[in-house]
Amino acid sequence: MASAAADPIAPLVAARGVTFGYGDEPVVEGVDLAVRPGEFVALVGPNGAGKSTLLRVLLGVLPASAGRVELFGAAPSRAVARGRLGYVPQRPALASELPATVREIVTTGRLALGRWWRRPTAEDRRAVEHAIESVGLGAQADTPLDELSGGQQQRTFIARAFASEPDLLILDEPIAGVDAGAQRRFRDALVHLIREHGSGVLLVSHELSAVADVLDRVVVLRRSIVFDGPPAGLAAEGVSLGVHREDLPQWLEELR
């Protein structure tokens, strides 16, 4: 996968000296961060470190109070991001009585490619089925969303993002509480997206054991960035991402 230090390609998303706060108290401060095509970056930090706030600034939902953000080389906007950005928030807004099935929801991800005016092609159907299988919902593909558990609904929206084959995929705690088998499928789907489509991925998670072997960088946020480098750099400090699952969460909480 890509090396951020050596790759001269323009980033898909970049924060340059970004600060955001409420009143006089900054939530994130002086953040420099970039994700390039083909790069897999994990953003971690203790609870309350500002991770979700930083994502909202990167997406243009919140305005930076200092510094600047570039999304696909321009100021963040829905027009710029349309069809190029996949985003799965920590708790997606779900209609409690949405009658659409898993397959129908995931198929809407293909609309982001600007093809809403024509019938789905064999390529569209292949991408949808691959996305559904990648999150372990093959047996529930024709089940209405409102009959699924909260975790299955979350996985449906992850599959929708996968199906859109975005240039940049941002995920906020997407697989918390998901079993080991589903985590492996999730990892394989991310690897496919990066290697086959050249997508960049920014993943926020407390638990990285499922993806530890394929990460390019880990960024540790505690209001400002306190570490940005390869997983081996954390391992040198005795923090295991893939062997002892409790190491990273425990170490992050000690940063508070």
Q: With 70 as the cut, is the pLDDT of residue 120 above it?
A: yes
Residues with Cβ < 8 Å from 152, sequence gap 6 or more?
137, 140
Q: With 80 as the cut, is the pLDDT of residue 129 above it?
A: yes
Q: Of the given ranges (30-44, 49-63, 165-179, 193-207), which has the lowest mean pLDDT?
A: 165-179
Q: What is the mean pLDDT of the chain?
A: 84
CA angle, 157 then 126 then 114, to 5°:
65
What is the mean predicted confidence (pLDDT) over 44-64?
Answer: 92
What is the mean predicted confidence (pLDDT) over 94-103?
Answer: 74
Q: Please give the order of strands across the beta sheet that includes 217-222.
A: 85-88, 168-172, 200-204, 40-44, 217-222, 224-229
Q: H or E segment at 151? A: helix 150-163
User: Which one has a higher pLDDT value, 84 or 181?
Assistant: 84
Q: Which residues pair with 28 in a beta bridge?
A: 20
Give the chain's domains with CATH numbers. Answer: 1-84+215-256 (3.40.50.300)
Using DSSP bridges, classify how beta strands 13-22 and 25-35 pair: parallel, antiparallel or unpaired: antiparallel
Q: What is the DSSP letter of 10?
A: P
Query: Rounded distance, CA 251 to CA 2, Å?
Result: 27
Q: With 70 as the cut, is the pLDDT of residue 97 above it?
A: no
